[in-house]
A = this chain, B = another copy of it.
Amino acid sequence: MTGVSQATVSLVLNGRDDGSVRIAPETRERVLLAIRDTGYVADPVARRLAARHNRILGVFTYEPVFPAGTGDFYHPFLVGIEESAERLGCDLLLLTSAPVTDGRRRIFHDDNRLRLADGCVLLGRSLDRDELGRLVAEGHPFVSVGRRDDAGGPVPYVGADYTTATADVVRRTLDAGHTRLAYLGQGAGPESHADRFAGYRTALDAAGLPTRHEPTDRSPADLLDALLTAGVTAVMVEEYADGVALAAVAAERGLTVPADLSILALGDPTRPTTRDLEFTGFRIPRREMGWQAVEVLTGLLAAMPGTATQRLLPCQPVDGVTLLPPRH
C-alpha cells in the first residue's frame, strides 16, 4: 500500500526512534495512515516468536483454578494476581490443559505448555516436590504462592509468615491465662502446616509449657472428649472448619465457646464452612500475596537484582470472640 518494506512497517509500528534507526516523518505518516485504514495489528504469535517473550504469565494450580466447592480459598490470591497482571499489562494463562494423573495435575507432561508463558505462578497447598525441583533445575522463571522448602535450590516464593503469626496467637492465649494448649491439625507435611506447628512449639517452649498435638482423623466428638480429659482449655486449629466442627460439638454438649473452651483459628477456611462465629486468630494476606507474587515474578523476568525472591508477609491478627481466660 505504501510502497515500503515490511521492515519499515515494523519499525514504524514499534515507534522505533532511537539513534540507530531513522524513519522520515513523511514516510512514518504514510505508514501510520495505512495501519489506521486497515486496522492492521501485528500477530502476537509471530511477535512472540521473534521477541522470545510475550507478556503472558502462567498460573498453575494443583486444584481447579475456579474452585467450585473449596469455599473459594484461592479466590483472593487470584484477585491479587489479576490486579497485578492488569497493572503490568500482562495476560494470564490458566494452565488448565495440564492432565490429571494419579489424582493431581502435573506441570510436566509430553505436551507441556509452560513455555507459552514468560513465567509462572504456582498455587496450591502442597506442590509436587519433583516438579518443583525440575522447575528449579531447568531454570524456569516461577514463583510459588506460599513458602516452600528448597528443592535442589532456593524456591522463589511469596508466603505468609505462619510461624510468627501462630506464635503470636499462642502468646495471646498464654497472656489470657491459659496453660494447657493443644494444636489440632497435621502440623507437618505441607510447609504451611509445618510452619504453624513450629510457631506453636517455639512459643510454648519459650514459656516452658508442654505441647500437645491432636491429629485430625478422629470425630469432633472423640476429639472433644480427649481434650477435656486432658484438661485442655485452648485449642489452636490449623483448619478453620475443624474449629467450627469442634465448637458445634461443644455446643451440643452444653459447653460454651470460649467460656469453657477457647478456640483459635490459624488462618482462613480452606474448606467450605459456616462463618457465623468469628474466631480469634489470624487471617492470611491472600490478595497481597497474589499481588507480590506477580511482582517477584516480573522481577525475575527482568532479572532485577534488587528484588527479594523469597518474601514472608505478616498475617493479620483477628480479635474475634473465641478467646477468654480459662475458668479455673
A111 touching B41 by the CB < 8 A rule?
A: yes
Q: Whole-angstrom distance between the alpha carbons of A110 and B54 in the complex? A: 15
Q: Which residues of B contact A44 (CB under 8 A)?
A: 111-113, 115-116
Q: Whole-angstrom distance between the alpha carbons of A40 and B114 in the complex? A: 12
Q: Which residues of B contact A54 (CB under 8 A)?
A: 45, 116
Interface check A248, CB cutoff 8 A: no
Interface check A206, CB cutoff 8 A: no
Instruction: Mark A21-64 against chain B: 1 for CB-CB distance below 8 A, else 0.
Output: 00000000000000000010111111011000011100000001
A116 touching B91 by the CB < 8 A rule?
A: yes
Q: Which residues of B contact A65 (CB under 8 A)?
A: 82, 92
With contact pairs A44-B113, A46-B49, A111-B41 given, residues A64 and B92 touching in the complex (Cβ less than 8 Å):
no
Q: How many residues of A contact B (CB 8 A)?
A: 47
B89 touching A91 by the CB < 8 A rule?
A: no
Interface check A97, CB cutoff 8 A: yes
Copies of this chain held together in the complex = 2
| Residue from A45, A64, A114, A134 having most chain B Cβ neighbours under 10 A | A45
Interface check A223, CB cutoff 8 A: no
A94 touching B96 by the CB < 8 A rule?
A: no
User: Which of B45, B96, B115 sits near A86, CB closer than 8 Å?
Assistant: B96
Q: Which residues of B contact A94 (CB under 8 A)?
A: 82, 85, 91-94
Q: Which residues of B contact A86 (CB under 8 A)?
A: 64, 96-97
Interface check A95, CB cutoff 8 A: yes
Q: Which residues of B contact A110 (CB under 8 A)?
A: 41
The 10 closest A-B pairs by CB, nearest first: A92-B94, A66-B78, A41-B112, A66-B79, A44-B116, A86-B96, A85-B96, A89-B97, A91-B97, A66-B82
Supply 5 A–B pairs (Cβ within 8 Å), ascending by A: A39-B108, A64-B82, A68-B79, A75-B75, A85-B94
